[in-house]
Amino acid sequence: MNIINGKEISQKIRLELKEKVALLSKQKGRIPGLATILVGEDPASKVYIGSKIKACQEIGMKSFHHGLPVNSTQEEIISLIKKLNEDENVCGILLQLPLPNGQNPDKCIETISPSKDVDGLHPYNAGMLTLVKSWKEIVDKKMLVSCTPMGIIYLLKYSGIDIKGKNAVVIGRSNLVGKPISMLMLANDATVTMAHSKTGNLKQITKQADIVIAAIGKAKFLTKDFIKDGATVIDVGINRVDKKLYGDVDFEDVKDMNINITPVPGGVGPMTITMLLNNAVLAFERQ
């Protein structure tokens, strides 16, 4: 088994981003700034947003944090986003999800200017991803793409794993992970199969795959009988069981196989914030 070390790759990319931020700041005469919005006091969301702010400062970017009370209305959140859209010091806007009290975030996300949408969730950016013809186009246009899927592509590329012409099976069809990673794999010339909870014969399908991407949200779901020898397995799942983190892959069961695999934790996870930083830098370059 060959471990794809997301922590190491992530650190490498963050160093590259730090250099880029220094260079761009000099060229443009201003420092890129990321605005973060947290509605309410959810402890997990506070930890997530805290790590994002810290990561942003570590690569030399400015951060502007806006904490809104838990009972904020959609109009209040939208009004703040509109202000940040106009603010020249802000190159990217991050609205921490989920919103409290089961509030639907769609209208808020749609208000974020597509050019400042560092989470890549705005319908314009999500839609553009379905229209691209190649990875080169994504890079050349500095497109803002959902962070976790983008992190997976960087993991594969930095690990020297070929995507072109490979059979890739993505398990999961969420707007956050499954759909965008399928589009990105397609843009990288993989032959992509998208599987989900209604897929029949899942094992037979994944057994054919050179690359399996599991974004299901079910601890230890994929065992060795799902995976072919020599495959690459990207485990996106984060499942908390008895205070321990597990991926969607049964790591113990597959550990003696001849495969490349991302561990949980330490695989896909660290790449997500790194890609948020990458998106913020791309947004700054474009503006």
Residues in contact with ligand NAP by the rule CB under 6 A? 148, 171-174, 176-178, 195-199, 202, 215-218, 236-239, 268-269, 272
Q: What's the min distance (Å) between Cβ of 102 and ligand NAP?
A: 16
Distances (CA, A) of 205 to 199, 211, 214, 215: 9, 11, 13, 15
Shortest distance in whole angstroms from residue 253 CB to ligand NAP = 17
Please choose, from the candidates 197, 190, 180, the residue with its C-alpha nearest in 3D space to the C-alpha of residue 212. 190
Active-site residue (options: 20, 96, 166, 248): 96
Q: Shortest Cβ distance from residue 269 to ligand NAP (Å)? A: 4
Dist CA 35 CA 245 (whole Å): 29
118 by Cβ neighbours in 10 Å (0-12 / 13-18 / 19+) ranks as buried
Query: What angle separates helix 269-286 from helix 6-28, to the nearest 10 degrees?
Result: 20
Report the residue number, 48 or 64, with the smaller CB distance to ligand NAP: 48
Sequence letter at residue 52: K
Closest residue to ligand NAP: CB criterion: 174
Which residue of the set 20, 116, 117, 119 is catalytic? Answer: 119
Taking the complex as a whole, the smallest distance from the CB of residue 55 to ligand NAP amounts, in Å, to 13
**Is residue 242 annotated as part of the catalytic site, yes or no?**
no
Is residue 52 part of the annotated active site? The answer reads: yes
The smaller minimum CB distance to ligand NAP, of residues 38 and 80, is found at 38
Structure tokens at 144: 């803002």
Active-site residue set: 52, 96, 119
